[in-house]
Chains A and B, each alone.
Chain A
Amino acid sequence: MRYPLSEHDYGAHPAVLPPDDPTRHDGDAVPLPVRLDLYRKMQEMRLFEKRAYDLFMRQLVKGTSHLSLGMEAIAAGFGAALRADDLTFATYRGHAHTLARGVPMTPVLAELLGRSNGLMGGKGGSMHLTSVEHGVLGSYAIIGAHLTIANGAAWSAQYRGSGQVTVCFFGDGTTNIGAFHEALNYAAVFQLPVVFVCENNLYMEYTPIADITAVPRPAADRSSAYGLDPVAIDGNDADEVYLTATTAVQRARAGGGPSLIEAVTYRHGGHSRADPGKYRPADEVEAWKRYDPITVYRGRLQRLGIDQASMDRIDKEVAAEVDRATEEAIAGDLPSPATALTELWADGGSSWHN
Chain B
Amino acid sequence: MAQLTYRNAVARGIAQEMRRDERVVLIGEDVAGAGGVFKTTEGLLDEFGPRRVVDTPISEQAILGAAMGAAMTGLRPVAEIMFADFFAVCWDIVANQIAKTRYMTNGQVTVPLVIKSGNGGSLRFGAQHSQSVENWAMAVPGLKVVTPATPRDVVGLMAAAVRSDDPVLFFEHKGLYAMKSEVPDGEIVDELGKAVIRRAGTDATILSLGLTVGRALDAAAQLASSGIEAEVIDVRSLVPLDIRTILASLNKTGRLFTVEENPRLLGWGAEIASIVADEGFWDLDGPVQRITTPYIPLPAADSLEDLVIPSADLVAATVTKALRS
Of the candidates A120, A147, A152, A156, the one having the most CB atoms from chain B within 10 angstroms of its own CB is A152
Tell me which residues across on chain A come within 8 A of B142, comparing CB atoms.
Answer: 344-345
Contacting B at CB under 8 A, from A121-135, are: 121, 123-124, 128, 130-132
Q: State in angstroms the CA–CA spacing of A132 and B102 once bound together.
A: 12
* List of B residues within 8 angstroms of A157 by Cβ: 73
Asked whether, in the complex, the Cβ of B62 is within 8 Å of the Cβ of A183, the reply is yes
Complex CA distance for A152 and B67, rounded to whole angstroms: 6
B145 → A minimal CB distance (Å) = 10
* Contact of B73 with A178 in the complex, beta carbons under 8 Å: no
Contacts of A153 in B (CB 8 A): 69-70, 72-73
Which of B237-245, B257-265, B286-294 faces chain A?
B237-245
Say how far B84's CB is from chain A's closest CB, in angstroms: 19
Task: Give the distance in Å from the alpha carbon of A352 to the alpha carbon of B238 in the complex.
Answer: 9
Contacts of B21 in A (CB 8 A): none
Chain A, interface residues (CB within 8 Å), range = 35 or more
Given the contacts A128-B105, A152-B71, A156-B73, A345 and B166 also touching, CB distance less than 8 Å: yes
Residues of A within 8 A of B126 (CB): none
**B141: Cβ under 8 A from any A Cβ:** yes
Knowing A132-B108, A346-B165, A353-B240, the reply to whether A149 touches B102 (Cβ < 8 A) is: no
User: How many B residues are at the interface, by size bracket?
Assistant: 35 or more
**Would you call B102 and A344 a contact (CB within 8 A)?**
yes
Contact with B along A332-354 (1 / 0, CB 8 A): 00000001001111111011111
Complex-state Cα separation, A291 to B108, whole angstroms: 38
Q: How far is the CA of A178 from the CA of B61 in the complex (A)?
A: 9
Which chain B residues lie closer than 8 Å to A186 at the CB level? 56-57, 59, 62, 66
- Give residues 70-121 of B contacting A (CB, 8 Å): 70-75, 77, 92-93, 96-97, 101-110, 112
User: Which of A121, A131, A149 has a CB less than 8 Å from the CB of B97?
Assistant: A149
Question: Given A182-B59, A352-B241, A354-B240, does the pair A151, B107 have CB atoms closer than 8 Å?
Answer: no
A145 interfacial by beta-carbon distance below 8 Å: yes
Cβ of A353 to closest chain B Cβ, rounded Å = 4
Q: Tell me how far the C-beta of A78 lies from the nearest C-beta in chain B, rounded to whole angstroms.
A: 18
Q: Is the CB of B62 within 8 A of A123?
A: no
Write the nearest CB–CB distance from B90 to chain A, whole angstroms: 9
CA A92 to CA B56, docked complex, whole Å = 29
Are B96 and A145 in touch, CB under 8 angstroms? yes
A179 to B73, CA, bound (A): 21
* Residue in B57, B107, B240 whose Cβ sees the most chain A Cβ within 10 Å: B107
Contacts of A272 in B (CB 8 A): none
Report Cα–Cα, A155/B69, bound state, in Å. 8
**B207 contacts A by Cβ under 8 Å:** no
**Cβ contact within 8 Å between B105 and A148:** no
Query: In whole angstroms, what is the CA distance A88 to B237 when docked?
Result: 35
Query: Which residues from chain B contact A351 at a C-beta distance below 8 Å?
Result: 240
Q: Name the B residues within 8 Å of A138 (CB-CB).
A: 101, 105, 109
Q: Cβ of B175 < 8 Å from any Cβ of A?
A: no
Is B301 part of the contact surface with A, judged by Cβ < 8 Å? Answer: no
**Nearest 4 Cβ contacts at the A-B interface:** A152-B69, A148-B65, A346-B165, A343-B107
20 A-B pairs (CB sep. < 8 Å): A87-B73, A120-B106, A124-B105, A130-B108, A132-B109, A146-B65, A148-B69, A155-B75, A157-B73, A179-B62, A182-B59, A186-B62, A339-B106, A342-B107, A345-B142, A348-B107, A350-B141, A352-B241, A354-B242, A354-B243
Given contacts A152-B65, A343-B105, A344-B102, 10 further A-B contacts (CB under 8 A): A123-B104, A137-B109, A146-B65, A148-B66, A148-B93, A183-B62, A339-B106, A345-B165, A347-B165, A348-B107
Q: Which residues of A contact B (CB under 8 A)?
A: 87, 120-121, 123-124, 128, 130-132, 137-138, 140, 142, 144-157, 159-160, 166, 178-179, 182-183, 185-186, 189-190, 339, 342-348, 350-354
Q: Which residues of B contact A (CB under 8 A)?
A: 25, 51, 54, 56-57, 59, 61-62, 64-75, 77, 92-93, 96-97, 101-110, 112, 141-142, 164-166, 193, 239-244, 275
